[in-house]
Amino acid sequence: MGGKAGTSGVRVAIVGAGWAGLAAAVTVTAAGHHATVFEAAHAVGGRARAINDTLPDGTPVTLDNGQHILIGAYTETLRLMAQVGMHEPQCLLRTPLTLQFPDGDGLRLPRWPAPLDALGGIAMARGWTLADKWALLRAATGWQLGGFRCAASTSVAQLCSGLPERVMETMIEPLCVSALNTPAPRASGQVFLRVLRDALFGGSGSSNLLLPTVDLGRLFPQAAVTWLELKGSTVLLDQRVTSLQSTGDANTQRSTTPAAWRVNGIAFDAAVWATSASNAALALAQQAPAAPDSIADALRTWAAVTEQLQHEAIATVYAYAPGLQLPQPMLSLRCDADHPAQFVFDRGQLGGPQGLLAFVVSASTQDRVTLQQQVLHQADLQLGALLQERTLSPLQTVVEKRATFACVPGLVRPPQQVAPGLLACGDYVDGPYPATLEGAVRSGVAAASLLMPA
């Protein structure tokens, strides 16, 4: 487990150096095998990576292509981060779950053992009536007694239809859109219950917010590349995969037994496709005509399922007001169609320059210019008392148009297995989690584990 990748072990090609692909590569390498990672871009991290910018005074600043957070329940992500040398205290700020607004209303969990922290947070929530609190406690008890399960066709809005409007607006809807990136009327109630179970009832610290204090590139991807290369595996940047060929008889292979594959003409025992859903569906469908019939059918079938996924955008509006500091590193915002941001992050309290704010718009639908104007107006309205005559200037607005899949009820997600010896991984692949970093990492670990001999 601790030495260099074995030259006599399984040779695995991994296409894509996002969080899922790198998780697969680390898992393969830690087991003594060899991984070769192909990445078309010049940087690693995929849809959770660092980008460079400058402040209005010309000072260089590192941003992210989206403001991501982790929670204490992300056990696989935390384990892999530590494995490659990124331990929690040096890169994450751990705080109790907080969904408070600039005026102090909302939910803030105390530092108590689970599930007492959730119960205490509900009991002490500001701006809620006793009836609000009792309704949520009653609903939560029902979900727990029901094993955190509901009909596959149930939406989050239907699941929570008996809750007061205030609870929906200040807790359920912000949690839903941040975890599933899908509005409550369209979001899967079953996936939402899984998130609640693992976060609020998953043990002490599982509900904690883990806010990155380094950019997303440093948080895991760059450390993973360094670790992989030290262990003897290979990461190839600026290497787009244009050819994927099966070189064996897939009909003789068991589903989890590696078949021989050539990636860009190089022979491997197995391959993992770890790009985005849309890229994976297009790329694998394009390889089908040149494949043997059984492999071609498998590629087309998998691509057809993947192409049915709908996607949601996430936007991050970065703005700067020198000297500004929010009362907390993260605040909830009251949002509607004209005020679209759900959260604001004080990057100055998270390792960045003081006064740098990141406004997050999940399930974004507006164009970039309109979105930026709306968010800045929202900031003036809801943060006006905190700005204290300061001018909040726009810095950069990042829109990831296909950031996640739409996590709708009854969703059919593509399987991990594409063909014998060829697996897919990513946050969109079939699994219990929505499109999160933890979902991506778990998918990568699972793919690698299936390909390696027992």
Residues 97/110, Cβ–Cβ less than 8 Å: no
Judge if 315 and 358 occupy the same domain: yes
**Is 287 a member of any domain?**
yes
- Cβ-based neighbour number of residue 191 at 10 Å: 25
Question: 317 and 301 in one domain?
Answer: no
Q: Do residues 11 and 247 make contact, with C-beta atoms less than 8 angstroms apart?
A: no
Q: Is the pLDDT of residue 254 over 60?
A: no
Q: Which domain holds residue 265?
A: 11-47+218-309+409-451
Confidence of residue 133 (pLDDT cuts 50, 70, 90): very high
The C-alpha atoms of residue 164 and residue 129 are separated, in whole angstroms, by: 10
Rounded to 5 degrees, φ, ψ at 172 are -65, -50
77-118 pLDDT per residue, tens: 999 999 999 999 999 999 999 999 999 999 999 999 888 898
Q: Are residues 241 and 283 in the same domain?
A: yes
Tokens 């947070």: give the residue: 121
Q: Is residue 2 one of the residues assigned to a domain?
A: no
B/e letters for 289-328, b = 16+ CB within 10 Å, e = fewer, are eebbeebbebbeebbeebeebebbbbbbbbbbbeebebeb
Assess if residue 31 is contained within a domain: yes
Average pLDDT for 234-240: 97
Of residues 252 and 226, more confidently modeled? 226
- Return the percentage of the chain with pLDDT > 90, whole number: 84
Residue 6 lies in a domain: no
Condensed to tens digits (0 to 9), the pLDDT of residues 215-229 reads 999 999 999 999 999
Q: In the prediction, which pLDDT does 250 show?
A: 41
Q: Which pLDDT value is given to residue 4? A: 64
Give residue 253's pLDDT band: very low, low, confident or very high (50, 70, 90).
very low
Residues 151 and 198 in one domain: yes
How far, in Å, CA of 204 to CA of 98, rounded? 16
Q: Name the nearest CA neighbour of 275 among 249, 246, 239.
A: 239
Instruction: State the pLDDT confidence band at 1, using cuts at 50, 70 and 90.
Output: very low
pLDDT attached to residue 310: 95
Q: Using CA atoms, how far apart are residues 159 and 161, in angstroms rounded to an integer?
A: 6
What dihedral do alpha carbons 9, 15, 18, 20 form, nearest 10°?
A: -60
**Domain count along the chain:** 3
Is residue 201 scored above 90 in pLDDT?
A: no
For 136-248, strand residue ranges (E) read: 209-212, 234-236, 244-246
SS3 438: helix
Domain annotation covers residue 4: no
* Confidence (pTM): 0.93
* Residue 338, in any domain of the structure: yes
Same domain? 315 vs 432: no
Provide the pLDDT confidence category of residue 9 given band limits of 50, 70 and 90. Answer: confident
Q: What pLDDT is attached to residue 255? A: 39
Same domain, 261 and 141: no
Say yes or no: 254 and 273 in one domain.
yes
Q: What is the pLDDT of residue 251?
A: 39
Q: How confident is the model at residue 259 (pLDDT cuts 50, 70, 90)?
A: low
pLDDT value at position 272? 98
Cα 204 to Cα 74, 97, 110, 124, 165: the distances in Å are 13, 12, 12, 19, 29
Distances (CA, A) of 69 to 36, 132, 147, 348, 360: 29, 28, 27, 16, 11
Per residue in 423-453, pLDDT tens? 999 999 999 889 999 999 999 999 999 987 6
- Please indicate, yes or no, if residue 3 is contained in any of the structural domains: no
Going by C-alpha positions, the residue among 368, 362, 371, 364 that lies closest to residue 434 is: 362
231 and 107 in a single domain? The answer is no
> Do residues 401 and 427 share a domain?
no
Dmax (CA) of the chain: 72
d(CA 329, CA 206): 19
Q: Note whether 304 and 417 are same-domain residues.
A: yes
pLDDT in tens, 263-294: 999 999 999 999 999 999 999 999 999 999 99
What token pair was written down for 382? 């809801």
Report if residue 202 sits inside a domain.
yes
Instruction: Based on the fold, state whether residues 133 and 226 are members of the same structural domain.
Output: no
Token pair of 117 as six digits: 């922290």
Separation of alpha carbons 44 and 49, rounded Å: 7
| Residue 402: strand, helix, or coil | strand
Radius of gyration of the chain from its Cα atoms, rounded to whole angstroms = 22
Query: Could you read off the pLDDT of 359-404 as tens digits, one per residue?
Result: 999 988 889 999 999 999 999 999 999 998 899 999 999 999 988 9
Band (pLDDT 50/70/90 cuts) for residue 8 is low
49-82 per-position pLDDT tens digit: 889 999 998 999 999 988 888 999 999 999 999 9
Q: What does the mean pLDDT of the chain come to? A: 92
| Sequence-ordered alpha helix ranges (H) in 201-325 | 216-219, 221-230, 277-287, 293-307
Q: Which residue has 């150096």 as its token pair?
A: 17
**For the chain, what percent of residues have pLDDT higher than 70?**
95
* Burial readout 335-373 (b: 16 or more C-beta within 10 A, e: otherwise): beeebbbbbbbbbbbbebeebbbbbbbbbbebeeeebbe
What tens digit of pLDDT does each residue of 394-429 get? 999 999 998 899 999 999 999 999 999 999 999 999
DSSP character at residue 155: B
Q: Is residue 102 located within the same domain as residue 195? A: yes
Rounded CA separation 154/142 (Å): 15
Which residues partner with 187 through β-bridges? none
